Structures are given as structure tokens and as C-alpha cells.
Structure 1
């Protein structure tokens, strides 16, 4: 991205199941074929390239292939998400069925306990009935004996009474006693009969309840079996769905790897300070991350946003005149740039830097941003060891933070990939990106672009949005290429 920037110094199985499985087998077979095609396609790219193909032609071809693969990724992602929703729905259904099965099992257990209690109660009633039956039998025997004796008394004639040794008063007392005892026995017999009848009624009621509980238990067992059959069917469908989801995911991963491979080749075509393979760029970013705490993918995202990893580092010379003014700020940046050139041994007038923005025929701001990180010279000086001598600027190894972190034996170079990665990470760290939160990294990216003063201006916020979107994509691509 060609632009100048003013940055301040940082502060801080059924039949149905069989059909489903058969369909799934066909699906897996077809997807495996498509997966093989994708993988073979990736492996054959270099051989498929036309001999003598220019970088521009190769870039155009790769970009076209990338568009096709990215479209396939979107389609495959949609299919995968559909299967994930289907799986989640089935899992929810299975959870509900599990709950219903548990509820039915508890109901059956409760019925069994109720039946057991009723059985005990019926047994108790049977014991009472047996006792009452025995007592009734004895009562009846006593009454029968009393009746016989009463009959004997009734059969006594007056002559027999007069001839007996018993006087008349004693006779009538005995007669009255027989009558009282008889009445009492009859009352007792009637009461026992009533109690026995009530007990038999209670027993019958308990037996009816037991029968009802047994019938309900049978129904619940049948219901539980039906739910279990339904659960088994859903589990079979879920297994198939999970298999389909895994197959979709496998194909999606292959397509993502294909896209990542294409982007890696496009990245290599861009290059900063010469062609750089994407794995090397990842290692530079990881090394910078280890020293600064700024995520490697965020460092890559900034460099991709700024210059496409050095592909767009500018086409102006620092002392070119554009719209009546020099490209680079004459006081703030030109002297520092010359000091950088002297330290590194290049001709400042031939080294390309970014041009000023031209919008609607008008120049906006200053150019002069350098290399993949697009630092203006005065910002590079903070990390690259350029210090004021009072009469000008010179290189100081002890002030070169980039050199100290990379371990190089030469001055840090804004046009060198490794140094540019470290410089970007240092500035992002000082902008607050090591905080770890999304907002901290988003804000740090805007500060990278517009300085601390411009971070609160909404017009600059899309820069942060773009960087964070790139970071998310690059994180996934790194994982894909590394197989993690």
C-alpha cells in the first residue's frame, strides 16, 4: 500500500436404516473421488504450469484457480453447516428420548414398588380374614352348643323341674344366663361377620389396585420399549449423519488446504526483498511474536494489508517531485532516510519508496514509506538504531532494537523481510497489541495506520476491521498448512 504516514512515538438397523447407510456409502465414495481430484490437483500444479510462464501469467492463473476453490469452499462449508445442524437436532432428539426413557424407567420402578406394597397389604388382609374366619367358626360352635343347652332347658317340664334337686329360682337364673350369653354371642358373631366382610372388601379393593398397577406397569414397559426402538433408529441415523459430516469436513479441509497452497504460491510471487515462501514468512512472524508477544497471524495480517508482503513497496524516489513537492517530508524523514542509506550502503535516490496518495487529482500527505512494513524513516529510526547527533542523524548499533532481537551482525534494514517483520511486531506491541483481546489488537492496528491520535477517528476504523479479518483467515491457513 503506497502511502505516507505520520506516526508519533509509541507511549505503551431397519430397512430404512439400510437405505440410509447405502446412500451414505455412495456419498462417501463420491466425496473420496472428489477429494482425490483436489489433492492430485494440488500436487500437479507445478507440472501443469506452462513452461516459460511469466510471473504475471502464473499469478493470473493462480488467482483464477483460487477463485474457483474459494467458491467450492463456500459451497462445502454450507453443506457442512447443514449437516452440523442436522446432527445437533438429532442429538437434541436423543437427549429428549433419553429423558423419556429415564422417566419411563422411574415410572416402572414406582409401579413395582406400589405393586409390592399392595401385595404386602393384601397379605395382611388375608391374615386378618383367616383370624376372623377362625373366630367366627368358634363363635358359631359356641352358639350351637348354647342353643342345644337352651333347648334342653326349654324341654324341661314342670314335673321334671319339681322332681329335680334344683330349686325354681336357680332354674330361672340359669335360663336367663343362657339367654344373655346367646344374645352376646349373636352380637359378637354379627360384629365379626361385619369386620370380615369389610376386610374382604378391602382385600378385593387392594387386588383391584394391584391389577391396575400391573396393567399400568405393562403399558409403561411397552412405552419404554417403543422409545428405546425410536432411540436406536435415531442413533443409527446420527451415526450416518456424523459420518457424512466427517466426510464433508474432510473434503472442506482438502479444499482449504488447496486454497492455502495457492495463496502460498501467490505469496511467494509477491515477496519482499526477493521471493519468500509462505512457510518462511510464518517462521519470521513466529520469531517476532516470540520476542514481542504479538500474535504471528496479526503480524502477517499487517504486512499483507500494508504491502502484500513487500509486493507493493512503492515506485517513487525519496527526492522525486510530485505535484510540486518532494515525495518524502524534507525535515522529518529525508535526513533520516539518508542516514539509513549510509548505514546500509544503498543509493537513496534509486531506492524505491511509497508515493504520496493522489485522490481526485490532488496530492494527500507525504510518501516515503519503506519496505514490507511501510514505516516512514522517522518511525523506523525508533526501532532501527538511527539517532540524532545534534547536527544530523547516524546509525547506533546499541539503539538498534530490531538487530538485537534478530541477532544479526549488521544494521537492521527496512527492505529486509526478517527485519520488517520484527519492526512491525515491535510497533504493534507498543501500540498495545500484546494485550491479547480483540479490541486491543484492533486498536493497535488502527494506530499502526493512523497513529495514536487518529485511532479514535471512525474513518480509520475499516483498516482495523480488514486487518482482523485477515488475521482470522491467516490463523486458519497456518493451521491448515501445518496440519494442526
Structure 2
């Protein structure tokens, strides 16, 4: 009996130690947050960095005013040199701002990482303590009241042990809630950390872009400075050559998947219109469409009048039979017929994407929407376009559809990481973060830079 009483006492004793350890751990994490939050040196540096950011933002605004004023002057070599000087100065300020922001974010990321490590350790400790508490409570629950009474040497010890048992049981809920709270706090810290890492990556990408802009503008400025006196007097000839370049860019055909190519100038007009409606940048919209056009060359086109039966729309997209067989949950066939009927089109001759990588085909037009998705966006797209029914094979409608969908995926934030993530989600859905799909986002962002630098910027400067 003494041994049994001894076991009961030791069990309660060890459980008390577990509870005490939790109290210490909770106290420890409070101290960590307090130390993190109250670091005078860190706070002072943050304030200093914020002041630098504010000053740089004001200088950038002032430089933009100068740039706008120079653009309003009559065309001349000196005016164009001044414009280039203003653009170079503004780009350098943007780089300084980005570097300050990276330093600021770096400090925040370090703090967040330490906090997450502490919280993760706290969760592990709580889980271990919770497991022990549950184990000991189960042991107590399997012991009858008579055994507990007989295991004690006196009635006072019985009531003392009974009180301790009740305290232990009530503590289970507290430990569980503490663990749950720490999990939620840890996830919140991780989400915030991801946002700060994305912001730092955006700042680094901005530096690369602005450095490229400076290099290009410096080269253009040097060309102007090297013009001879005679050439300066004939500067209109230089302007005419720039205009010819702009005209050639506008007239260059912009390839669209499963639709006829259109002049780049027209595609840009459509993209600018979509940008005003959605906030998604024109270069990004056109980069997505270019990527899809390139991908289409590899996948192929189905459902044309000359295609064999295995490429017919009923063979390449899911319908009622596939739903019944459990191979798909979508009825793209019915949606496709409704779309073509509303547009007065022949469903047997409209170009569609072929099946790819053991998946379904049937995506429509330049933006490559599957029928059920297009139908779900139809009313919104028609409203944005100011028409009754949107047409997935019509370039203007497809460009608006791409912009609208990219907005749903977060591309309207206009940062590098937001656009790249949107492109990946567009391509891979819930599998967007898998390394195997990274190529799509990387290729799109390279196209964004190329379209902006070599096609859109020359048009805006003329």
C-alpha cells in the first residue's frame, strides 16, 4: 500500500513539474518578445531608416516634377539630355531607396526568424507536457475511488490527492489553449515573414531594373553628346529615326495563341485599357499572352475543321460521361456549347488547345480559359468591356480576361514577386510553389522586362 501511495504521490509530483515547466516557458517567451520589442538600438535604427526613406521619396517626387517639365519643352538635344539626366537621377534615388528598404526589411526578417524559432520550441515543449499530462490523467481515471482511498494512509491525504487530481485535469485545457494560441501566433509570424521576404526580393529586383535603365539612358545620353555641330543642327533627322523605330514596333505583329496576330500597337492599346480597369501592368499582361503563345506551339491546336475525330471538342474536354465515370468534376462540354451558341459560332470549328501532360484540352483563345472558368467570368468581363457577351477568341476580350484573372491572383500589386506568383498560379494552380513549375514564372518575368524595355518604353518616349 505504501508503494501504491508512493506512486500516486510521485505521479502528481512529476505532473506538477510539467506544469511548472510550462509556466517557465510561457514566461520565457514573454521575455523574448519584450527583449525584441524594447531593443533601443533596433528602434533607433528603424527610425533612422524610415527618415531616410521619407526623404528619398520626396526627392523622387521632386525629380519627377523636373522630368515632366522637361518633357513639355520643345524637342532639342539639350532638352533630351536634360530628360535623360532627370531619369538617371530618379533611377539612382530609387536604388538608394531600395537599399534602405532592404536594410530595414533585413532587420525585421532577423527578428521575425528568431521569434518563430522561440515559438516553435514553445510548441514542442507544450506538446510534450500535454502528452505527459494526458497519460497521467488516463492513469488516474483508470483508478477507482476505492483504490485511491485505500492507497492513502489517511483521509486528509485522500482529499489532498483528490484536489491535486482536479487541478491537473483543469490544467489540461489551459495547456491545450496555450499550444493552440502559440500555433496561431507562429503562423501569423511566418505569414508576416513571407511578406517581408517578398518585399525584400521586390526591392532587389527594382535595383536590377533601375541599373539597367541607368545603363541604357547613359548610353543614349553619350550618343547625344557625341553629335557634331552639323549633326546637332540636323537633330530632326535623329528624331525622325526614333519615330521610325517606334512605328516599326507598333506595326510589328504580336502573336496570339489560336487567333490571328495583331499589330503590337493594337495589343498595347488593349493592354492599357485592361490596365485602367484592373490595375495589372500592360507588360505583364502581354508577357502572359506571349508565354501562352509559345506554349501553344508545343501543345498544339485541336478542333479545327481539318482535325481528326480524336481532336474533336467532345474528345478533348470533360463532359457528362466523364463526370459519371468519376474522371472529372467539370462539364466543359455544356459550357462550351453555351458560349459558342451565345456568340453564334460553330462549336465544331473553333480552335481549342489539345490535351497536354495526360490532362484535358479545350482551353479557348489567346488567354486559354477552359469553358467553365470563362463562363464564370463572363458577366464581369462583359461589364468591363462594355458589351453584351465576351468572346474568348477576340483579342481585346482575351487580353481583358487575362488581366482580370491576373488581378484575382494578386498581380495588381504590381511588384515582382506578386506578378511572378500570379503567373505561377495561372499556370499550375495549387501546385504553383513546386520547384518543377518555377520555369513558367521565371520565363514570364524575363518577358515582362523585355517587353517593357524594348517595346513599351521606346513608344512612350515618342
After TM superposition, the score normalised by the length of structure 2 is: 0.43
Q: Based on CA coordinates, which of the two structures has the bigger radius of gyration? A: 1
After TM superposition, the score normalised by the length of structure 1 is: 0.41
* Larger relative contact order (Cα-Cα within 8 Å, sequence gap ≥ 6): 1
